[in-house]
Amino acid sequence: MIFHTFATMKLKAYQVAEIVGGDVEGNDQVSIDSLAKIENGKEGSLSFLGNPKYKRFLDSSKSSIVIVADNFVSDKNLTKTLIKVKDPNEAFSKLLDLFGNQTSSKLGIDKLSSVDNTVSIGKDVYLGAFSICEKDSIIGKNCKIYSQVYVGENVKIGSNTIVYPGVKIYNNSVIGNNCIIHSGTVIGSDGFGFNLDKNGNQLKVNHNGNVIIEDNVEIGANCTVDKATLGSTLIKEGVKLDNLVQVAHNVEIGENTVIAACVGIAGSTTIGKNCMIGGQAGISGHLKIGDRVMIQAQSGVMKNIPSDSTVMGMPAFNYLDYNKSYVHFKNLPKIMSKLNDLFKKTI
């Protein structure tokens, strides 16, 4: 049986200020029950001014409360209430989380789901229609497993994790607490490994390891995380993957690293903590990427990168050197034209 619980949040200005650590300028008793863009604000909503280019909407916005930077000074007499904070973007993000957690919350196991009787299910779990959970798996408390999710045998999912529709989690995978996995993602599929036999045929290498995803990880839509040949493919705490990211067998991604869309990481590569990897970057196998490395978009990484480096290009090299080289590259037609003129004069 499925239960739906709903909550409508209503906050006064002084309460909002307490939540975001700000100061009220105006009526601290005015109430809001929704969030809105500043240009679309209405009475009873709260907006924020994070980018100065939207300042022109402040006067016309009907929002009851607007979050602004603590150094904001208006050149007009505003009737709406302001809450001044150090970082409006961060403050608004807190409120987005708060309001997001108050939306409809589903509880219970849908009658159209299939759950083996050996599965351990925690309190306040939701399993949507046509979701499947195989034997000996564990689902922690307050997990939300949406429709058409496949959870294989001996899978462990921690508390407060959300798995969106269409996700496939293969046998023996481990997923931590407070994780989010978006639609279409596949966790624990076979790695891409083949050996040639004496006749030149490709023989599949069996992958007998698993995938371990630690706490507070978010994985975007249509990502693939392959299981290890032996041991574990490891995504450590706080990692954030955008959509369409490929993580190959035995890869290790360090804490709080963020990876943009369409990145491919080949097998057995280790990526350090607090790295930032731009979209469409490709990283070869068996490499070691240090901590706090920044890899610019569309770069091709083919060798180890030490900590605190920033690289760009194909093959990737030092970012500043790349920019200097690019100046010459884009001027190459002019340079060649001058060289040809000099060559003709010497004939």
Residues tagged active-site: 249
Per the structure block, which two tokens stand in for 81?
């209430």
d(CA 221, CA 133): 21
Per the structure block, which two tokens stand in for 243?
């959509």
Under a CB-based contact definition with an 8 Å cutoff, are residues 285 and 303 in contact? Answer: no
CA nearest to 222, candidates 192, 242, 196? 242
Under a CB-based contact definition with an 8 Å cutoff, are residues 266 and 281 in contact? Answer: no
Per-residue CA distances from 321 to 273, 284, 304, 310 (Å): 24, 21, 17, 10
Contacts of 120 (CB under 8 A, 6+ apart): 137, 138, 139
Per the structure block, which two tokens stand in for 113?
């789901």
